[in-house]
A and B are shown apart, each in its own frame.
Chain A
Amino acid sequence: MTSTALSPEPPASWRRYFGFSTDAKVIGIQYIVVAFFFFLVGGLLAMIMRGELITPEADLVDRTVYNGLYTMHGTIMLFLFIFPVLNGLNNLLIPTMIGAPDMAFPRLNTAAFWLVPVFGILLIASFFLPSGPATSGWWSYPPVSLQNPLGHLINGEFLWVLAVALSGVSSIMGAVNFVTTILRMRAPGMGLFRMPVFCWTALAAQTLQLIGLPALTGGAVMLLLDLSVGTSFYRPEGGGDPVLYQHFFWFYSHPAVYVIILPVFGIFSELFPVYSRKPLFGYVYVCLASFIIVGLGLIVWVHHMFPSGVTQWMRNLFMVTTMLIAVPTGVKVFAWLGTLWGGKIRLTTPMLFCLGGLFNFVFAGITGIMLATVPIDIHVSNTYFVVGHFHYVIYGAAVMGVFAAIYHWFPKFTGRMPYEGLGKLHCLLTFVGANLSFLPMHPMGLMGMPRRVSSYDPEFAFWNVLASLGGFLLGVSIIPFLLNMISSWARGPKAPHNPWNAIGLEWLLPSPPAEDNFGEHVPTVISRPYGYGTGEPLVEHQADIERALTLQEAIR
C-alpha cells in the first residue's frame, strides 16, 4: 500500500495549465481560472450597471448599452462563470473522491473544457460588432430578440445564440463524462450509499443537464432559424407562437438553477461535518433528497410564466409542484442544522463561507415560496423582487459555497495553504456586500420597480443607492480573494495531505495528488463517509497509508 504514497511527484510544470491536458486535475484548475476571468468581466459589467442605477435617470450609458450590459452580465455569469467553475470542481473532486485515476473519457473532457474559451471569445466579440451585443436579456424572448435593426447576418443576437448552443454542447459532453465516471469508476467497496454527498449531488445535477439541455438547444436552433433564415417558429406575423419559446427555454433553464445549487448543497454537506467534527446528519436522506429535487425540478418550469397568459389550472398545478420542492430542500437544511448541533464548531474560512451561504439560502428559500404563490408572483414577477431572490440564490448561496470549496480544497490541489486572515476578510466583505446589494432589491420590487430598466421613478432611488453601494463593496471583496489565491499558490506554506483532518479518499492522497491519483493502489472503502468521532476507518489499511503520507511530508 505504501508504494503509492512514495511514488515520485509528476514533473509539476506550470506550463501544463496552458496546454491541452487530459488530466482532470489540470482541467479542473483550467476551468476554475477561466471561470474567474469571466467572473471579473461579468462583475465589471455589473459595476457599470450599478453605476447607471445609482441615479433614476438614464445618464451614465446609452439605453442600448445598458440593455447590452445586463444581457451580457447574466449570460456571462451563468454560462461562463457558474457552470464552468462548478465543472472545475467536478473535475477536481469527482475522480479523487471516488478513487478513480481520471475521468472516464479524458479527451472528451479536454474538448468540453476548450469549448469554454471558444464560446467565451465568441460572446465577448459581439461587443465589437456594428450591431453591438445581444440586448434582449439572457432569456432572449422573441419577438424582441429577433429584431435586427441593421439587418446584418452576423449580429450580436446571432453570436449569442451560437455561444449558448456551444455552451450546451460543452455541458452535455461534461455531463456524459461525470455521470459515467461516477457510475462506473468508484473505488472497490464504495457502493452508492458510501459515496460522498458531493458526488451524489453532482450525479443529480448532471442527470438534469442530460434531460434538460436538449430542450434549450432545440429552442435555440429554432430561434437561430427565425433570426437568420426567416422561419416563423416564434414570429407572430408568420403564425408562430412567441410563448412556445418560453416553454423550451424554461424547461431547461429552471432545472439549470438546480444544476447550480445541487453541487453547492454537496459542498455544504461535505464541509459542515469536517468543521463540526460530526457525521452528516441523516446521510441517506440527504442523498435521496437530491434526486427528489431532480424529479420535482423538471415539472415546475411554468412558474416563470405565470403572467404570460397560462390558464388557471396550470398556474395552480405548477404552484403546488414548486412548493413541494421546499420539502426535500428542507430535509437538507435541517440535516445541516442537525450536523452543526452539538458539534465542535471551527470557524475557519470555508466554514464561515458555508454558514454565510446557508443564511442567504434560507432567506432565498422563503422568498422562493412567495414567488411560487401565484397571486404574489403576479405582482412581483419581472420586478426587482425576483432579481433580489435569485441573486441571493446564485451569489449569496452558490458563489459563497464555491468560495468555501475553493478555500477547503485549495491545499489538496495546489499543495499550498491559503491565508486565513485574507480569507476571513474576503468572507466578511462578500457576506456584507451581498446582503447590502441584494436585500434592497426586495422592497424595490414590492413597490413595483420592473427589472431590466435603465431608468426608474424617483421613489425607488433610496433603495437603489443602497444596492449600488453593496454592489461596489462586492466588487472590492474580490481583491482579497485574488491576492490570497495568487500569493498563497506562489509562496504559501506547504500543505500536508490532510490539513483539516477531514475524512474522504481525496485526503488520503498527497497534496497535490499524483497525475493518476491512487494509480494501481486504490484503497478499498469499508465504511460510510463522514465517520467523525466514530473511530471507524474509511478504507482498509488506512493507518498505513496515512503513516506513509506523513513520512513523505517529513522528508520532502
Chain B
Amino acid sequence: MTSSTPRRPGPIALAALAIWIGLLVAISLWVARASYGWLPVQASNAAPLVDGLFSFETGIGTFVFLGVISVMAWVMLVHRAEKYDESDAEPIEGNTRLEVIWTAIPFVLVMAIAWYAIQINTELGVLGPMEHIHLRDSQEQQGGYPGDRLPAEQVEVIARQWSWEFRYPSQHVSSTELHLELNRPITFRLVSEDVLHGFFIPAFRLKQDVIPGRAIDFSLTPTRLGRYRLRDSQFSGTWFAANQADVVVETAEDHGLWLKQAAAAPLQSGLSVAAAEYTEQQTNPRGGWPTVVPAPPPQVNVPGSSSLPHDA
C-alpha cells in the first residue's frame, strides 16, 4: 500500500472548512432539537428518556449524514472530469493513518452511544418496563375471573383475535378501555388467548409482545392526562390493524370514580371492531379469502369507543 501525504491546505481553505463544519454542527443541533416534535406527546416516565436518546442520535446522525453528503456534493461539483478528458486521476491507493482514524472514530462513537443506551436501559428497568416472564399455570389457562389469584394492584391485559380486555381484579371491573391513574406506577399482567400480539402505546414509548402460554409482568407510570391509543404491534391476523383500544390517563379522583361507576355497570359486549366488521360481512360479503372468525366481544362493564379523538 503506497501512502501519500496530501498537500497541506492553505489558511483560507482551513478557515472555510472550519466555517462549514460549524454550520453543520449548528444544523445538527437544530435538527436534534426539532426531532422531539416528530414523536407523539410524552405521556409516561419512559418517554423523556427515549426521546432524549433519540434526539442525541438524531443530532449525531445528521452531522454524519451531512458530512458524507458534503463530500459527495463537493466531488461532484469540483472534481468532475473536463469534457473530453480521458486521462486518469492521481493514483492514491490508500493511507494507513486515515484508515486508523476512520476506524477508531466510529468505534468510539458507537460505543459511546451504546454506553449511553445501556444507562437508559438500566434506568428504564428501574422505572418499570423490565418484564418478568413466567408460564401461565393450569388454573389461569382455564380463564375465568382473576380477582382471587392476582395481586390487587395488577391489571390483567388479555389480548385476543381481535380485542383487548382489561381486568381490575381488586374492583371486579372489566373493560375494553384502559383507565390509568396519573403518576401512579402500574403493573400489567399481559396474556394472550391465541396468537402473538403486541402491547404498544406510542405516547408511552413502550411496547411488549404478548406471548400465548406465558404471562408477562410489565410496569409503567403514566405522567400526562389524556386519551391515547393502544395498538396491536405484532401481526395477529386478519383484523390486526383494527385491534386498537383507548388508554385514558386520569387523576386519582376521576380514576376512583370511574372504577366505582364501572363496578356498578352491567356487563355488556365490549369493543371489537373485528367482530362488528365480521358480522357486517356475513350479510354483505365483499370477497377476500377465508379468515379466522373473530373471538366474540368480551363481556365487560365499560366498552369504550373506537372513534373518540385521542391525543396520540
Is A211 an interface residue, CB under 8 A from the partner? no
- B-contacting residues of A (Cβ < 8 Å)? 58, 61-65, 67-68, 130-133, 135-137, 139, 141, 143-144, 147, 149-150, 156, 236-237, 241-243, 276-285, 307-309, 312, 315-316, 319-320, 323-324, 326-327, 330-331, 333-334, 337-338, 340-347, 355, 358-359, 362-363, 366-367, 369-370, 373-376, 378-379, 381-383, 443, 446-448, 450, 452-457, 501, 528, 531-534
Would you give 6 A-B contacts (Cβ < 8 Å), ordered by A? A62-B288, A236-B214, A242-B196, A278-B90, A312-B125, A501-B86
Option from B91, B237, B287 in Cβ contact (under 8 Å) with A144: B237
Tell me, rounded to whole Å, the shortest Cβ–Cβ distance linking B269 to chain A. 21
- CA–CA, A198 to B199, complex, Å? 44
Do B114 and A359 have beta carbons less than 8 Å apart? no
Option from A58, A136, A355 in Cβ contact (under 8 Å) with B72: A355
Do A450 and B92 have beta carbons less than 8 Å apart? no
Do A456 and B235 have beta carbons less than 8 Å apart? no
Do B79 and A344 have beta carbons less than 8 Å apart? yes
Option from B50, B80, B290 in Cβ contact (under 8 Å) with A378: B50
Known contacts A65-B288, A144-B236, A281-B92; is-contact A331 B241 (Cβ 8 Å): no
Do B208 and A309 have beta carbons less than 8 Å apart? yes
Tell me, rounded to whole Å, the shortest Cβ–Cβ distance linking A376 to chain B. 5
Is B205 an interface residue, CB under 8 A from the partner? yes
- CA–CA, A366 to B35, complex, Å? 14
**Which residues of B (69-107) have their CB < 8 Å from a CB of A?**
69, 71-72, 75-76, 79-82, 85-95, 98-99, 102-103, 106-107
Do A149 and B92 have beta carbons less than 8 Å apart? no
Do A320 and B114 have beta carbons less than 8 Å apart? yes
Do B206 and A379 have beta carbons less than 8 Å apart? yes
For A528, the chain B residues whose CB sits under 8 A away are: 93
For A347, the chain B residues whose CB sits under 8 A away are: 76, 80
Do A381 and B207 have beta carbons less than 8 Å apart? yes
**Which residues of B (113-147) have their CB < 8 Å from a CB of A?**
113-114, 117-118, 120-122, 124-125, 129-131, 133
Stretch from B151-159, B179-187, B226-234, B257-265 forming part of the interface with A: B226-234
- CA–CA, A285 to B94, complex, Å? 9
Do A382 and B89 have beta carbons less than 8 Å apart? no
- With both beta carbons as reference points, the residue of chain B lying nearest to A374 in the complex is identified as B121
Known contacts A307-B208, A309-B133; is-contact A281 B94 (Cβ 8 Å): yes
Do B216 and A326 have beta carbons less than 8 Å apart? no
**Which residues of B (241-298) have their CB < 8 Å from a CB of A?**
241-242, 244, 277, 286-293
Stretch from B14-22, B57-65, B169-177 forming part of the interface with A: B57-65
Option from B1, B54, B92, B103 in Cβ contact (under 8 Å) with A327: B103
For A533, the chain B residues whose CB sits under 8 A away are: 88-91
Tell me, rounded to whole Å, the shortest Cβ–Cβ distance linking B306 to chain A. 10
For A243, the chain B residues whose CB sits under 8 A away are: 211
Is B212 an interface residue, CB under 8 A from the partner? yes
Do B40 and A346 have beta carbons less than 8 Å apart? no
Known contacts A62-B286, A453-B240; is-contact A277 B117 (Cβ 8 Å): no
Do A375 and B93 have beta carbons less than 8 Å apart? no
For B304, the chain A residues whose CB sits under 8 A away are: none
Do B54 and A307 have beta carbons less than 8 Å apart? no
- A-contacting residues of B (Cβ < 8 Å)? 1, 38-40, 46, 49-50, 53-54, 57-58, 61, 64-65, 68-69, 71-72, 75-76, 79-82, 85-95, 98-99, 102-103, 106-107, 109-111, 113-114, 117-118, 120-122, 124-125, 129-131, 133, 194-196, 198, 200, 202-203, 205-209, 211-214, 216, 229, 231-242, 244, 277, 286-293, 310, 312
- With both beta carbons as reference points, the residue of chain B lying nearest to A140 in the complex is identified as B235
Do B99 and A277 have beta carbons less than 8 Å apart? no
- CA–CA, A442 to B279, complex, Å? 35
- CA–CA, A121 to B304, complex, Å? 47
For A237, the chain B residues whose CB sits under 8 A away are: 212-213
Option from A132, A319, A455 in Cβ contact (under 8 Å) with B117: A319
For A284, the chain B residues whose CB sits under 8 A away are: 1, 94
Option from B98, B106, B239, B240 in Cβ contact (under 8 Å) with A330: B106
Do B289 and A132 have beta carbons less than 8 Å apart? yes
Known contacts A366-B64, A448-B231; is-contact A147 B237 (Cβ 8 Å): yes
For B58, the chain A residues whose CB sits under 8 A away are: 370
Option from A280, A344, A378 in Cβ contact (under 8 Å) with B88: A344
Do A369 and B61 have beta carbons less than 8 Å apart? yes
- CA–CA, A242 to B213, complex, Å? 9
Do A345 and B75 have beta carbons less than 8 Å apart? yes
- CA–CA, A46 to B91, complex, Å? 45
For B211, the chain A residues whose CB sits under 8 A away are: 236, 242-243, 308-309
Do B117 and A443 have beta carbons less than 8 Å apart? no
4 nearest A-B residue pairs (beta carbon) = A448-B202, A62-B288, A132-B289, A236-B213
Do A68 and B289 have beta carbons less than 8 Å apart? yes
Option from A319, A446, A501 in Cβ contact (under 8 Å) with B118: A319
Known contacts A64-B290, A277-B87, A278-B92; is-contact A323 B233 (Cβ 8 Å): no
Known contacts A330-B102, A382-B233, A448-B312; is-contact A143 B196 (Cβ 8 Å): yes
Option from B40, B79, B118 in Cβ contact (under 8 Å) with A447: B40
- With both beta carbons as reference points, the residue of chain B lying nearest to A151 in the complex is identified as B290
Known contacts A315-B121, A446-B39, A447-B39; is-contact A370 B61 (Cβ 8 Å): yes
Do A345 and B102 have beta carbons less than 8 Å apart? no
Tell me, rounded to whole Å, the shortest Cβ–Cβ distance linking B307 to chain A. 10
Do B287 and A448 have beta carbons less than 8 Å apart? no
- With both beta carbons as reference points, the residue of chain B lying nearest to A325 in the complex is identified as B110
For B72, the chain A residues whose CB sits under 8 A away are: 337, 340, 355, 358-359
Do A131 and B92 have beta carbons less than 8 Å apart? no
Known contacts A330-B106, A455-B242, A533-B89; is-contact A236 B212 (Cβ 8 Å): yes
**Besides the contacts A63-B241, A144-B237, A309-B216, what 7 more A-B pairs have beta carbons closer than 8 Å?**
A278-B91, A283-B94, A319-B117, A346-B81, A448-B231, A454-B241, A456-B241
Known contacts A144-B237, A307-B209; is-contact A448 B229 (Cβ 8 Å): yes
Known contacts A382-B233, A454-B241; is-contact A345 B206 (Cβ 8 Å): no
- CA–CA, A143 to B192, complex, Å? 11
Do B65 and A312 have beta carbons less than 8 Å apart? no
Do A379 and B289 have beta carbons less than 8 Å apart? no
Known contacts A58-B241, A132-B289, A450-B231; is-contact A279 B91 (Cβ 8 Å): yes
Do A532 and B89 have beta carbons less than 8 Å apart? yes
For A534, the chain B residues whose CB sits under 8 A away are: 91, 93
- CA–CA, A131 to B288, complex, Å? 10
For B291, the chain A residues whose CB sits under 8 A away are: 63-64, 149
Known contacts A136-B237, A331-B99, A355-B72; is-contact A363 B65 (Cβ 8 Å): yes
Do A344 and B87 have beta carbons less than 8 Å apart? yes
- CA–CA, A307 to B1, complex, Å? 46
- CA–CA, A367 to B60, complex, Å? 11
- CA–CA, A381 to B200, complex, Å? 10
